[in-house]
């Protein structure tokens, strides 16, 4: 069916032809492309995760699924790893989109309730996903893992340092290596990359104009500025 692939292509073409002056112009204009939910099956429900890497999305999903085992998890990272293992090489660009689209179609045909684990910070990528769920008769809730910059960045630094040092670095032992020149180098690199990621995602602008809410039936904000490892949130 390639529903997601087709919707992703629609928004990719939209971006190439967009002649607005700002991200806010795009947010105001793009709403006309939203696909409404098809059908009235209230049991068909999808949850889309939204947040930076390391912000706790997978933890939230794990805890949520303990209470709601009827949901299956569709992970963008898992789809990519599986496809790369099949091909014996890296995949990029539209190959990733094609692989995810196939997995998306399979998930929609096998379960009524789905959680999609991925960053989905890019508004148009997220809208393509929501449109695809709507075309399959799903209502969509977006769980917005509120950016917790200090917690997120420290976790990412320790994860990358663990890879470089070959030893797992945690809150308990990071003090032993925090002043090491290599750790300092890793820290500077990760902080720079993190800032670029925030800027490229236009996350602050999205929050200002409620870009996260376009097309979805419900937005749940999780975190509220504090570390959050449970299930719940605040509906907008």
Q: What pTM was computed for the model?
A: 0.72
pLDDT one-digit tens code per residue, 213-233:
788 888 887 764 333 334 444
CATH code for the domain of 57: 3.40.50.300
DSSP string computed for the chain: --HHHHHHHHHHHHHHH---SSHHHHHHHHGGGPPPPPS--TT-EEEEEE--TTSSHHHHHHHHHHH-TT-EEEEHHHHHHHHHHHHTS---THHHHHHHHHHHHHHHHH-SEEEEES---SHHHHHHHHHHHHHTT-EEEEEEE---HHHHHHHHHHHHHHHHHTS---TTTGGGTTTSHHHHHHHHHHHHHHHHHHHHHTHHHHHHTTGGGTT-SEEEEE-TTS---SS--EE-
Between 123 and 136, the more confident residue is 136
Q: In this predicted model, which residue has the larger pLDDT, 133 or 232?
A: 133
Number of domains within the chain: 1
Q: How far is CA 112 from the centre of its chain?
A: 20
* 51-110 pLDDT per residue, tens: 777 677 888 898 899 989 999 999 988 999 999 999 999 998 899 999 999 999 999 998
* Mean pLDDT within 8-18: 89
Give 137-186 pLDDT, tens digit per residue: 999 998 887 654 555 677 778 888 998 999 988 878 888 998 999 999 99
Contact present, 162 and 169 (Cβ < 8 Å): yes
pLDDT at 191 over 90: no
CA distance 17 to 25: 13
Question: 7 is in which domain, residue-wise?
Answer: 3-235
């Amino acid at each position: 069916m390639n529903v997601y692939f087709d919707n992703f292509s629609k928004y990719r073409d939209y971006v190439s032809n967009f002649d607005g002056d700002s991200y806010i112009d795009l947010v105001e204009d793009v709403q006309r492309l939203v696909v409404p939910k098809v059908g009235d099956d209230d049991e068909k429900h999808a949850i889309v995760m939204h947040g930076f890497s390391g912000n706790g999305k997978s933890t939230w999903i794990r805890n949520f699924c303990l209470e709601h085992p009827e949901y299956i998890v569709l992970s963008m990272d898992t789809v990519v790893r599986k496809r790369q293992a099949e091909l014996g090489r890296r995949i990029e660009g539209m190959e990733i989109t094609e692989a995810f689209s196939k997995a998306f179609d399979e998930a929609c045909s096998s379960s009524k309730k789905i959680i999609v684990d991925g960053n989905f910070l890019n508004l148009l990528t997220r809208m393509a996903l929501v449109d695809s769920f709507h075309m399959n008769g799903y209502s969509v809730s977006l769980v917005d893992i509120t950016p917790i910059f200090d917690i997120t960045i420290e976790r990412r630094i320790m994860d990358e340092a663990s890879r470089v040092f070959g030893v797992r670095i945690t809150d308990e032992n990071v003090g032993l290596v925090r002043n090491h020149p290599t750790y300092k180098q890793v820290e500077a690199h990760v902080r720079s990359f993190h800032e670029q990621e925030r800027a490229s995602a236009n996350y602050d602008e999205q929050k200002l104009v409620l870009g996260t809410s376009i097309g979805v039936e419900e937005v749940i904000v999780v975190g509220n500025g504090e570390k959050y490892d449970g299930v719940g949130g605040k509906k907008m």
